[in-house]
Homo-oligomer: A and B are copies of this chain.
Amino acid sequence: MPRPSLKDQRSDEILDAYLTCVARFGLEGATQERIAAEAGVKRPLLRHYLGNRGQMITALCDHVVLVFDRMTDGADAVLKEAQSYEEVIGLLFAEDIDHDPRLLVAWQALAVSVGDQPDQRDALLNSLERFLQALTRTFQRLSPNRSMEKTRAVAQGVMAILVNLDSLSILSPPQAWRNELRDGAAILLASLEGEG
């Protein structure tokens, strides 16, 4: 007899608008007015669905980690098919890739402001570690004879380059930079090739 609940759907919509605002204005710049406008709802609804400001930040953190993990799973599935490092580079640096540019920006904004809350700190670090392990698994499969240490180091380097590319994209850097960063990742991967 009750009206059907839209809690999950609306919460997701609002969190997505929140994510957009944080990526554009920073965490403190993402006011409830802006979020509500972005989501196309009235401000009191934010409170209704997500709670007060602190609870909203916690919910956003969970949401970012969730989306990040989904992205990792997607990348992992695609990387499983790759048969060469050229293919890996092509997949990771594809221009037309379905890749959310807001994600890492919001990730970093959260990192600076929740660094003191252990739970959220660990959640953010874990989401990175998951992605790192996805990369590492693929590299190990393509170069099974390499030491774990070297494989991890290369994976860290590739991830750093990917993160850097995302951070820079806000400033729309020259295309040459993008190419150079991709080539840098390719050089790193090439170090895993060849015999033992």
Across-interface contacts of A188 in B (CB, < 8 A): 157, 184, 187-188, 191
Known interface pairs A25-B113, A161-B157, A171-B125; A149-B191 also in contact (CB < 8 Å)? no
Q: Are B29 and A111 in contact (CB under 8 A)?
A: no
Q: Which of B124, B157, B181, B190 contacts A171 (CB 8 A)?
A: B124
Known interface pairs A26-B112, A28-B25, A113-B26; A185-B163 also in contact (CB < 8 Å)? no
Q: Are B27 and A26 in contact (CB under 8 A)?
A: yes
Q: How many residues of A contact B (CB 8 A)?
A: 48
CB contacts under 8 Å to B, within A18-35, are: 23-29
Q: Are B170 and A156 in contact (CB under 8 A)?
A: no
Say whether A99 faces chain B, with CB atoms less than 8 Å apart: no
**Total copies of the chain:** 2
A34 CB to closest chain B CB (Å) equals: 11
Q: Mark A91-103, 1 if CB is under 8 A from B, else 0.
A: 0000000000000
Closest to A113 in B: B26
Q: How far is the CA of A28 from the CA of B111 in the complex (A)?
A: 15
Q: Are B115 and A171 in contact (CB under 8 A)?
A: yes
A23, A27, A155, A171: residue with the most chain B Cβ atoms closer than 10 Å: A171
Q: Are B113 and A29 in contact (CB under 8 A)?
A: yes
Closest to A24 in B: B112
Say whether A153 faces chain B, with CB atoms less than 8 Å apart: yes
Say whether A173 faces chain B, with CB atoms less than 8 Å apart: yes
Say whether A66 faces chain B, with CB atoms less than 8 Å apart: no
Q: Are B121 and A112 in contact (CB under 8 A)?
A: no
- Which chain A residues have a beta carbon within 8 Å of chain B's beta carbons? 23-29, 105, 108-109, 111-113, 115, 121, 124-125, 149-150, 152-161, 163-165, 167, 170-173, 177, 180-181, 183-188, 190-191
Can you spell out 5 A-B residue pairs with CB atoms less than 8 angstroms apart? A25-B28, A125-B173, A149-B180, A150-B187, A160-B165
